[in-house]
Every structure is written in C-alpha cells, then in structure tokens.
Amino acid sequence: MTNNLRVAVVGAGRMGADHIDRLHTRIVGATVSAVVDIDAERASAAAARVPAAQTFATAAEAYASGTVDAVLLATPGFLHEEALFEALERDIPIFCEKPLTPDAESAWRVIEAEQALGHQRIQVGFMRRFDADYAQLGSIISGGTLGDLLMLHCRHRNPSTPDGFTNEMLINDSVVHEFDAVRYLTGEEITSVQVRLGKASRRARNGQHDPQQVLMETASGVLVDVEIFVNAQFGYEVSTQASLEEGIVDIGADHGPVTRTAGRVGGAVTPGFEDRFGAAYDHEIQSWVDAALRGEIGGPTAWDGYATAACCEAGVRAQSTGEKVTVTLKEKPELYR
Amino acid sequence: MTNNLRVAVVGAGRMGADHIDRLHTRIVGATVSAVVDIDAERASAAAARVPAAQTFATAAEAYASGTVDAVLLATPGFLHEEALFEALERDIPIFCEKPLTPDAESAWRVIEAEQALGHQRIQVGFMRRFDADYAQLGSIISGGTLGDLLMLHCRHRNPSTPDGFTNEMLINDSVVHEFDAVRYLTGEEITSVQVRLGKASRRARNGQHDPQQVLMETASGVLVDVEIFVNAQFGYEVSTQASLEEGIVDIGADHGPVTRTAGRVGGAVTPGFEDRFGAAYDHEIQSWVDAALRGEIGGPTAWDGYATAACCEAGVRAQSTGEKVTVTLKEKPELYR
Amino acid sequence: MTNNLRVAVVGAGRMGADHIDRLHTRIVGATVSAVVDIDAERASAAAARVPAAQTFATAAEAYASGTVDAVLLATPGFLHEEALFEALERDIPIFCEKPLTPDAESAWRVIEAEQALGHQRIQVGFMRRFDADYAQLGSIISGGTLGDLLMLHCRHRNPSTPDGFTNEMLINDSVVHEFDAVRYLTGEEITSVQVRLGKASRRARNGQHDPQQVLMETASGVLVDVEIFVNAQFGYEVSTQASLEEGIVDIGADHGPVTRTAGRVGGAVTPGFEDRFGAAYDHEIQSWVDAALRGEIGGPTAWDGYATAACCEAGVRAQSTGEKVTVTLKEKPELYR
Amino acid sequence: MTNNLRVAVVGAGRMGADHIDRLHTRIVGATVSAVVDIDAERASAAAARVPAAQTFATAAEAYASGTVDAVLLATPGFLHEEALFEALERDIPIFCEKPLTPDAESAWRVIEAEQALGHQRIQVGFMRRFDADYAQLGSIISGGTLGDLLMLHCRHRNPSTPDGFTNEMLINDSVVHEFDAVRYLTGEEITSVQVRLGKASRRARNGQHDPQQVLMETASGVLVDVEIFVNAQFGYEVSTQASLEEGIVDIGADHGPVTRTAGRVGGAVTPGFEDRFGAAYDHEIQSWVDAALRGEIGGPTAWDGYATAACCEAGVRAQSTGEKVTVTLKEKPELYR
C-alpha cells in the first residue's frame, strides 16, 4: 500500500454518493477506485465525476480487480453483516456506516469475527465524535474541573421525515446517534432505556408517534432524557445540555448573521444535518483514511456498533411496552479495551 | 373601605418581612396596619420601618383592633388552614403565600369553606404568573399560532440549600412552583407524577438526593420533565423550553452586560430568586391590592392551591416509590370555573 | 413637610401625563396635588384619574394654593428657564425634564441662580442613569479591574420619527441622552463634537439627514462614536460597547422569549423607549421623591443640564459645518463638586 | 497541465509554511512541487513533510526545473513586485498573499503588466471573501430586501502584537483587510480615509498608538468606522455590524460550548485568526486551485490589490496628519470589469 488509499464504496445511494464526493474532492490521501452497486445505472451515475473509479455489481468483483485497499460500506444496515465478513476475510480497513448491523446478536457475530482476526479493522460511522462541539463537551466532562456529570438533556429535531419513516426507524436511525453520543460523553455503557409517548403532533406521518421522549440510565447512574421530534417544522437541531456538579454546559446553538428587522431579532436555524455536521463527516473520513494508511482504526469501533445495537433493541422494545428495558452487554473483549 | 387597603401581615419571618417592605415602599394603594407574630421581638423588628403599623401576637387581636381590611399570610404552610378559616369568617381579601396548605385534604377543606362563602377571597402566592417571561410564553402557547403544545422541559436550579432542606421540601417548596407553572402554561390539570433518582451530586446535603428529575403528564398528554437541582453551585436558574407543533420557545435566559476578557465571553448568572423574580413579586402583590380594593381576586385561586397540593402529595410519593403516581382531583366547583 | 411630597406637575402633555400616572400609581411617598397647564381642558384630562389633584393655569396659582411641596417640570424646554427661576425662588425641590434649558447660556443663568440659593434644588431628567445596564456598565468602568476606558461605541435607533422631527431635534432630543451617558460613564466632560453625514435612508422624513454619526472626545481622550438613526424601522435600540484596556463590555441587548420557527431563531426587538426604559423612569422619580423628602437631590444636577446644553450647541454647529467643534465649559462651581 | 496543479511556494516563513501544510494535507487537486527560500535551511524545514517537493533558492531555478505549473507568493510584500513580473512573464496562475505590493504606484505597474498579458492571472489573498459570515452578509446587502446599506461598524481586535509591529503595519497589515472587506461588502470603491487617535492603552507596544479609529467613506456615501485594537488582551475578534434602511445585521460572534459556573455564563473567545478564519484560508486556496486548473481566477484580483494599496497609502497619511485623505484611483481597466 502506498500513501494513497484506494477505496471501494459499496452502496451508491444518497449516503454512498455523498461519501464518493467527499473522498474525491475533500479527502487527501485516498482515491475512489471502485463504486459497487447492484443497480448498474446508479453505480455509473455516482462514479461519473471520478475518472479513476470503475463500477462493479458486487464487492467481490471489486476486490478481484486488484484495485481496492479499503472499503466503505454505505448500503442499508441489513446488508452490513455479510459485507463485513467478506471484508474482514480480506483483512482490509473497513468504514461501516451506522448501524454496524441492525441488531445486537448479529453485531456480536461481527465482534467475534474481528476478534478472530486479532486486530481491529472496522470503524463505525458515528460522526458526532468528530464534531467540534461534542469533542469540546467531552473534554470538559472528562477534564473533571466541573465535577462529575449528573444529567444529560438531549434534543434531536428534524424539520420533517420522508414517507415510510417508522417508529422503529426513529430509534434505529435517529436515537442511535444519541446512544453513541451518550456513551462517548459519559465514557460508560447505557444500562436501561425507557420511552414516553405523550401528545403527538398533527404533523406526524401515518403510523408515527412524534415526538417521543427517550429516557436512559448509564452504569454510574447518569440520567439522560432525549426529545426525539422528527417533524418539528422549524429546522434541524441536535443539542445537548450537561448538568455537572459545579456547572452547566450547552452545545448545539445556531450560527451565522444575526438580523434585526421589523420587530424581530434573530438568525437562521440550521436547515439540515449536512449544514450542522458537514465538517464532522469530512473529519471522520479523513481520520479513517489517515489511520487506515497506518493500519489502525481512527474512530468508533465494532464494539461501539455492538453496544448501540443493543441499545436500539432495548429502545424499540421500550417504545412498544412503555416499560423500562434493561440493556445487558456481553463482557467487553480484550481487543476493544 | 377607602381606596387604601389596610393590610395585616401574619408571620414576620423572612418572607413576611419582605412583603412588609414591599407593601410599605413599593405598593401603591395599601398600608401595612398590623404585623402579627407570636414572637413579639420579631414582630417589632419587622414593623420598625412602618410608622403606621401596630404589632399583635395573634391575627384575632389584629382583627379586633378594627384596623385591618385584608390579610397577607406569610407563616409556614402548616399554620395556613386555621388562619385561612379565621380570615374567611371575616370575609376579607386574603393573600396566602404558597402552599395553600401542605396537603390536598386540608386544601380541599379550604375550598369548601370558600365555596360556602359564595365568592372567592383567597389569592395564592404563585408569583411566576406575574413574571413577564412566563406571561409571554403563556400567550404564545394559548395564541395557537405555533400549534398545540407537546412537551415542556423545565430547569429549576439553586446554587445551594440551607441546612435542613429535605427531599420532601424539594417537592413541596421548589417543584410546587413548576406544578403551578405547568398548569398555568398548559391550562390543564396534571394527571401523573414520576420521580427519577440518578447519580447524586457530592454537593448534596445530608439526606438529600440531588438532582432529581420529575416527570409529569397533563390531561391532554403533554409530557413534562423537570430537572430540580438545588445545589447546582453556578447560580440560580428557572427556565422552560416548550416544544410545539410548529416551533420551539425558550424563556429564562440571563441578562445584563456581556463582557469579553481573558479569553472568555459572558455575563453574570442570576444569583438568586430575588433577582430573577423581584419584579414579579411586586406585580403580584400590587395585583392583589388592586383587585382587593374592587372586591375581587387578582391571581391564582384556592383551587390552584388545592390542585398543586395534590401534585405535591403525588410527587412525594413518587419520589419514595420510583413509580408513576396518578393525580386525581375532585370535580372543579362552579365558583372556580 | 410630612413624609408625603405634594407635587405640582407643570405641563400636562404626553410626558406630563405619563409622570402624573407614574406618581399616582407607582411612586410611594408622593401625591400629585396640582396639575398646571395653560390649556384647561388638557389639565383636567390629565388630572381626572387623581382625586386629590387640583388644576391651575399657571404654576404661580398652584404655589399660591398652599398645596405644593415640590414641582415637576414637563413643559417644552424653552419654557423651563422662567419656571425654574420661579421654583428656585420658592426654594422647593425641582424635577426638570431634560433639557435643563435649550442652550448653554440660559443653562448657565440657572446654575448662577441655584448657586445664589446656596444649595442644590434641581434634578434633571436623564433617566438612563437609573437603568440597570448603564449602572452596571458604569460600575465596571469605574471599578478599574478592566483598566482604563478607551472607546465607546453607541447606537441610538428609533423605528421612525413623528412629522416635524428636525435635524436639530436629532441632536437636542436624542443625542442629548448620549451626551449625558458619555459624561456619566466616563466621569469626564466632553471636549469636542463632530458630525458625519453620509448616505441617507430613503425612510428619512422631509429635511432630515438620517442616519448621522456623531463623534466626540472626552477630557482624557476617550473616543466616542454614536450612530443616531431615528427611522431605523426594525425597532428601538439603545446600546453601548465599551473598549477597555483589558476587555470589551456590551449592554443593551434584547430580552424575552426566544422562538425557533420556520427556519428562524430569534426574539422580539424592543418596540420603543417605554419598554426599554420604563422601569428607569420609575426609579428616577422615586429617587427624586425620596431625596426631596430629605431635602437633597437624587440624580443629575443643574450642572449636568448645563454641560449637556453646551454639548448640544456644539453638536448642532458641528452638524451644519461638518467640522470638529470644541466644547468649552465654565469652571465647575463649588456647589456641584 | 493535468488535473493536478504543481505549485511552487515562494517564501517559507510562517505564512508560507502554513500554505505548504494546507496544500499538502487539505487541498485536493494540487501538489507542492517546489519550496523556494533564499534561506536553504528554512526551505528544507518547510519542505520536510512533503516528499514530492524540491527546494530552490530562487523562483527562477524552480521554474527552470520544469516542475512548476503555478506559484504561491508568501514572501514579505516588498518582494512581491519583482516576483509577480517574473511569474506573469511565464503566464502561470499566481496566488499572491496580501498586499499585492506595498504601495499604489507599484501595484499599478503590476496591473499594467497583467493588462499587457491580456488575461487575469493574479489572485490576491483577501481570505475574508471565503468566510461564510462575510459571504452571507454580502448576500444580504446585495440582495436588497433590507434596502440600501448606510453604515458599517467594524471591529478588528487582536490579543497582542509581536515586537516591531508599527503604526504603519497597523494600517498596512491589519486595516488592509477591512479596506478589502468594505469594498467587497459595498461593491464600491473607498473615496476617503481618516484616522482618529484618542486615548492609548498602556498595553500598546513602544511607538504604537493603540487603539485607533479609522473612518472611511465609499463612492455612494456609506460611512464606515473601524476600531483597530491590536493589544486588546481578551482575544481575537473580527466583527461587522451593517445598518441598512430596513434592518441591522451583525456577524462575527463567538462559537462553541456555553458554560455556566460560579456565577458566570459564557463561552470561549476566539483565541486567534487561525481559529476564526482557518476554514476560509482552506476555501480560498482550494478556490484558487480549482480556478487555476480551468485557467481562471477564483477570488480577489490584482485590481483589488491595487485599490487596497491606495487605501493603505491614504490610511498611513491620515494616521500621521489627522486629516481626512481622499483616495483617488485610476480608471478601472476593461480587464477587471
């Protein structure tokens, strides 16, 4: 391997196309050498801007071409397990968009396979860890000058959802980021999950109960509450307030020009996650490329993928039962300590 | 009664002395004519600044003096019931500091006595209703332009507590304000209360579990969470964030000069409730005086006192059981509709 | 004199009526005993709410009635000199709305008359000194922990002006407050004034050049710039930024609920000076009443009125010449030191 | 030329080393092929991280090596003229750090040389145009929905200055950015410059008069004031407030977590220009690389360099005379329209 990582992007949908664009125009040290999608037309469209990229129907064909040093998985989650095994067998750096796999059991099989390999190869796409606000909040908490962390109040709000965004996706696709962020900020595992369903917005889509409140506890007893509100209309917001023994810290405020006109003072609300986390996505992939060139992992590991899969399972069960659901993890393997 | 209300202040402790000062120096239309306290020295000290005020050991003596048009009760809550009956018998305007009485059963007896009288005489001291921020938030919610209210996230933080401030007082003296504020902002009764005890601050006093999270539901299903944190060190904060169908509204931010020096930008945190709600206290008593001179009530009624007493009872039980406790109220009498 | 100050309000226009309402409903320790206006109908209208007040055509008649302990002058500025002399002769407490008189020469005659009396009797209506923000900024500057003050950047913006608001009034009625605020914040006299006329808004009324920039220097060399913009449309703003050797301080931000809806985050802009400075007006008059009952002055003195009159004269000249105009004051009499 | 631009960086001091790092690690589409510095040791140190880069003592030698498609000039300004002529002769894309040259006369000679070439080759390093805040403010102003721009209030504050930072550098190195920003935001040339020297901070270095206030006028009469304060201690700030006919717009506020602890609410002040404008520098160079590969200019042109040089000359003269100095530009050549 030279100092240029030749990456196969598997899955040429919205997220895959976005990563191809990122690797091609903003990430130094990597080249998109292969675009893999069962839909040939979609693969060609996504590869069009990248002269060096070939298209393939399967990852196996891409690997066989001899042009692939590393793989980025951007297919739907239910396809991840098989693709991960295939890549682990080749022992190449893997960037796996979240979730690692859709449930804790399959995630654990991935953990076992990576352990069998004897070294870490999988980085999971929890990009908040690369956001400056989260990183600074994490430093403040772990720095200890404000005492122990006691509570986290989280907001996760989208302006609206596409058709077909179900109650389960609300946990598995949205709250999953909060699960990882809570684990990252506290440095602890989550021990229980509970979901409160109150008054629903008339803006909620068919079958959704929106907003919901997700309550968690961590190993040391930190209480967490999340407002997940995916049809909040006003804009996009991901913010967190931390209550510590000696002070309160807020992250996630809005930016840009402040205008006063016609009796109102204010600024623009972040319109979507691309605006809020665009730089974080770039940092995440750059970190993965840099680490991969050194044979290392540059972010969340397969263990993080497994632990959040267990939280999602508990969350979905809590959502339907209204009860507090305990989260029990297997013992953390040596490889991830 | 002339256009000057002669007020007997019963209870010359901290709160009573504060109300005497307020009536004497800032409230127009009222005079402190009597200061009542079983402790003669304390009564004299509190009355010292008010030339026109006589001191008495009991309210009965003050009433007998013929100098009292109205009464302000500032004794501890467990003394309220008897004092309220005594004043209702005389059919005079009553300002009763919160709580109305310490429990729902005794509060209901007061309701019955006022109903027997046939008109409202009691105003309860929930002064947040006189705070500009709460009033504006109430207007925004009831105005309806942002759709229905769905969730309320409340923060109630004090820098520290005096010795002897117990877990029960945390509900009965602090969260009681949130109970009334939620009822005021939603226009609905609270139907259940739950308390989460997580990691406690090492700054908590003996026997306290601090912070706590109080969860509520209202009649229409609005979900409410309160962080009550009475040893939060940094300063005083009472703030609320409302999630509505079409937008989010925040109240309770800090005021005053913003300074940038030595790498920090910021301002002063509100140091205590006097600074945050001083003007609200003045408005509250002025409103009571003005209404009393017209033979009316200028704020929260005995019903509000009863309903919050029922919430406090549920809150204390929820605190010790960890269960969700249902709040059941008697039917609202015609007098309070 | 008892501990109730019987006040004659001279001038029953908008400002006079406002002060009558304030004294009657919000100020403790004073009664409006006389309302003086040459227009009998206007006097009666303003006195209607105050049972104890009599109406008079002239101040002399009011004084002759034996019901006047003190006088509040709310007539136009050009009538102040004579009314001040009349009140000084009677040696009673005088609250004089700004300006003291319309020019430095007549203001100096008032200074001489008060000196002849041997004690101060006149308080001038510069109410910003009673605003919490200005008071705090003044304390920060004089406290010295941020080093010496170097520059002041001031904004004075109104949504729009009534017909007939001339360029001269822009200095004499609006910037006059900045002249006093600069003197108050720096503790120094202003030594020069300059006015820059650039691009004018199409919203400016006939004959106005709006906005303008007023530049000042103080005795120690503090540089001041004021944007005076009286047709700024968006709302009302009076704010100041101070540059000190060790830090920057801002006052004058907007308050109240912050709303996020439809892609915007923001709050309400202060709509007018009543909202921004309403409490300051109350504090100002209460301070005057309290001091008057002790035979003292509770705020800006006649010297402050004289010094700002000299600044206004310089400002109007600077406005028409475009030159820097020096402000020269007579030596400050012992009485005002 | 392929789709990879081989860049010679001339000048391996702080700014040059920074650009080398940027091109090597963050900019896609370019490679540092040559590092030029008369100081061989400095050239080697700066080139150490870049395997592909050769070092040279002069630009001529670098050009002769046949490895250079484009040049980035990061030497001191007084060396720019000759280097620009040398590069223009070779007709290659040139990125020239500001200033174009140190004075208007030499800048005009560069303009003439580029005109003789018949197409634009020079982009000048005014990186604020690539900052999101400035770009948004520019859009708001040119969009016209808030009416015409009337005034600009600018702040340019550094925590402190290195030894040897003179009064002239304060104009030529710091205010020069404001000159370009004003031209960018107004879309007009600056017609006069004036400098006010008031009270100086005791933190000012030997020979500096700090802070200063720079006043400008633009062609249509927009008034501009700049506080330039290079020993402001508290941190770094570049902010602008625009007064338009229908509203006020602010840019430049601070970011990051907001903490409440020990009676203070606040966040971190931007510590330096790298933090405030780091992303802008990246965007600027990427824009130049992208445009250069297309044979175009991606930012400020030589005309912008000439016009700001004329402003700097006027500024330095205004600083020493205290007078308003008119800025007169030659007619804008067709090439830059």
Comparing A37-46, D109-118, D161-170, which segment has the lowest mean pLDDT?
Answer: D161-170
Question: Before B102, cis peptide (omega within 30)?
Answer: no
Q: Based on the domain organization, do C162 and C292 belong to the same domain?
A: no
Q: Assess D261–B contact: CB distance below 8 Å, yes or no.
A: yes
**Residues A247, A242: Cα–Cα separation, whole Å:** 8
Residue A271 has pLDDT above 60, yes or no: yes
Select the residue of C235, C265, C271 nearest A266 (Cβ to Cβ). C265
Residue at token pair 């004299």: B44
β pairing state of C5-10 and C30-36:
parallel
Cβ-contact A227, B151 below 8 angstroms: yes
ipTM score assigned to the predicted complex: 0.88
CA distance A201 to A206: 11
Mean pLDDT of A188-196: 95
Backbone torsion region of residue D140, taken as left when φ is above 0, otherwise alpha when ψ lies between -120 and 50, otherwise beta? alpha
Instruction: Work out the number of other CB atoms within 10 angstroms of the CB of residue B79.
Output: 15
Position A1 confidence tier, pLDDT thresholds 50, 70, 90: very low
Identify whether residues B124 and B35 lie together within a single domain: yes
Average pLDDT over residues D32-51: 95
Helix residue ranges, H only, B187-234:
none
Question: Which among C180, C189, C179 has a CA at the least distance from the CA of C301?
Answer: C180
Q: Give the mean model confidence (pLDDT) for residues A303-315.
A: 89
User: Is there a contact between A259 and D28 if contact means CB atoms under 8 Å apart?
Assistant: no
**β C248-251/B258-261 pair status:** antiparallel
Tell me the average pLDDT across D136-157: 94
The amino acid occupying position A115 is Q
Assign B150 a pLDDT band (cuts: 50, 70, 90). very high
Alpha helices in A59-204, H assignment, sequence order = 59-64, 80-90, 104-117, 132-143, 167-169, 176-186
* Residue A48, helix vs strand vs coil: coil
Q: What is the pLDDT of residues B282-320, one digit of tens each?
A: 888 888 888 888 888 888 998 998 999 898 899 889 988
Q: Do both C301 and C328 map to the same domain? A: no
Please say if the pLDDT value at position B254 is more than 80: no
Helices (H) and strands (E) in chain A, counts: 10, 15
* Nearest residue in chain B measured CA to CA from D266: B266
Cβ neighbours of D247 in C, within 8 Å: 233-234
In a domain, D337, yes or no: no
Taking 70 as the pLDDT cut, the residues of chain C under it are 1-2, 254-256
Please report residues of C whose CB lies closer than 8 A to that of A256: none
Give the helix/strand (H/E) hosting B85. Answer: helix B80-90
- The answer, for A188 touching chain C at a CB cutoff of 8 Å, is no
Residues B114 and B259 reside in one and the same domain: no
Residue C249 sits in the same domain as residue C166: yes
Are residues B162 and B88 both part of a single domain? no
Looking at chain A, the whole-number percentage of residues with pLDDT higher than 90 is: 68
Spatial separation of the C-alpha atoms in residues C55 and B17, rounded to whole Å: 39
Q: Is there a contact between A266 and D279 (Cβ–Cβ < 8 Å)?
A: no
Position B239 confidence tier, pLDDT thresholds 50, 70, 90:
very high
Query: Does D112 share its domain with D138?
Result: no
Kindly report the pTM of this predicted structure: 0.89
**Is the pLDDT confidence value at D1 over 70?**
no
Q: How many domains does chain A have?
A: 2
In this structure, are residues B12 and B38 in contact, taking their beta carbons and an 8 Å threshold? no
How far, in Å, are A149, A239, A312, A314, A315 from residue A308 at the CA level? 21, 19, 6, 10, 10
CATH assignment at residue D157: 3.30.360.10
DSSP D120: -
CB contact under 8 A, D256 and A133: yes
Please give, rounded to a whole number of angstroms, the shortest distance from the CA of B93 to a CA of chain A.
39
> Is B268 within 8 Å of D263 when comparing Cβ atoms?
yes
Residue B45 belongs to a domain: yes
Alpha helices in D187-269 (DSSP H): none
Closest Cα in chain A to D282: A26
Range of the domain at C290: 5-128+279-307
According to DSSP H, which parts of D170-259 are helical?
176-186
Structure token digits, residue C294: 């002790």
pLDDT bracket for residue B3 (50, 70, 90): confident
- Residue B9 in contact with residue B288, Cβ under 8 Å? no
Across all residues in chain A, what is the average pLDDT? 91
Give the span between the Cα atoms of D135 and A6, in whole angstroms: 35
Q: Is there a single domain that holds both residue B252 and residue B187?
A: yes
Contact (CB<8Å) C245/D196:
no
Let me know if residue B135 belongs to a domain.
Answer: no
The structure tokens listed for C105 are: 């020469």
Q: Are C152 and C179 in contact (CB under 8 A)?
A: no
User: Mean pLDDT: which of C51-60, D131-140, D249-258, D276-285 is highest?
Assistant: C51-60
Helix, strand, or coil (residue C170) = helix
A105 closest CA partner among A309, A308, A333, A300: A309
Residues 6+ apart with CB under 8 A from B14: none
pLDDT of residue A277: 77
Residues 18-47 of B with CB under 8 A from A: none
Whether residues C261 and B247 touch (CB distance < 8 A) is answered with: yes
Predicted local distance difference test score (pLDDT) of residue A66: 96
**Which of A324, A312, A330, A317 minimizes the C-alpha distance to A193?**
A324
Residue whose pair of structure tokens reads 């389960």 in the numeric block: A168
User: In this complex, which of D137, D146, D251 lies closest to A261 when CB atoms are compared?
Assistant: D146
Check pLDDT > 70 for residue D16: yes
* Residue C1 confidence (pLDDT): 42
Rg (CA), chain C: 20
Q: How far apart are the first and last CA of chain D?
A: 28
Residue D110 in domain: yes
Query: Which CATH number goes with the domain that contains A106?
Result: 3.40.50.720
The single-letter code of the amino acid at C331 is: E
As a whole number, the mean pLDDT across chain B is 91
Does the distance separating the beta carbons of A250 and D261 come in below 8 Å?
no
Q: Considering CB atoms only, which of D237, D260, D268 is closest to B264?
A: D268
Q: Are residues A13 and A118 in the same domain?
A: yes
Q: Is C189 part of any domain?
A: yes
Q: Is C142 on the interface with B (CB under 8 A)?
A: no
State yes or no: pLDDT of B1 exceeds 50: no
**Using the beta-carbon criterion (under 8 Å), do B263 and D268 form an inter-chain contact?**
yes
Residues D239 and D180 in one domain: yes
Question: What are B183-229's pLDDT values in tens digits?
Answer: 999 999 999 999 999 999 999 987 899 999 999 999 999 999 999 99
B253/C258 Cβ within 8 A? yes
Question: Do residue A265 and residue C254 have CB atoms under 8 angstroms apart?
Answer: yes
B253 pLDDT more than 90: no
Backbone angles phi, psi at C67, to 5 degrees: -110, 10
Cis peptide before A99 (omega within 30 of 0): yes
Task: State the pLDDT at residue C254.
Answer: 62
Beta-ladder partners of C215: C194, C225
Same structural domain for residues A232 and A136?
A: yes
Is the pLDDT score of D254 beyond 80?
A: no
The tokens for D90 are 């070779």
Q: Average model confidence (pLDDT) for chain D?
A: 91
Q: Nearest by CB to C222, from D148, D199, D243: name it.
A: D199
Residues D189 and D289 in one domain: no
**CB-CB contact of B30 with B7 (8 Å):** yes
* Closest residue to D140, CB basis, from A25, A27, A257: A257
List the beta bridge partners of residue D218. D190
- Say how many Å lie between the first and final Cα of chain A, rounded: 28
- Dist CA B59 CA A296 (whole Å): 80
Query: Residue C51: what pLDDT?
Result: 86
User: What tokens appear for C50 in the block?
Assistant: 């105050």
Each residue's pLDDT tens digit, A201-231? 999 987 899 999 999 999 999 999 999 999 9
User: Which residues of chain A neighbour D250 with C-beta distances below 8 Å?
Assistant: 257-259
Q: Distance between CA B139 and CA B187 in Å, rounded?
A: 11
Nearest to B240, CA basis, from B152, B142, B175, B130: B152
Contact C15, C97 (CB under 8 A): yes
Touching subunits for chain B (3+ Cβ pairs under 8 A): A, C, D
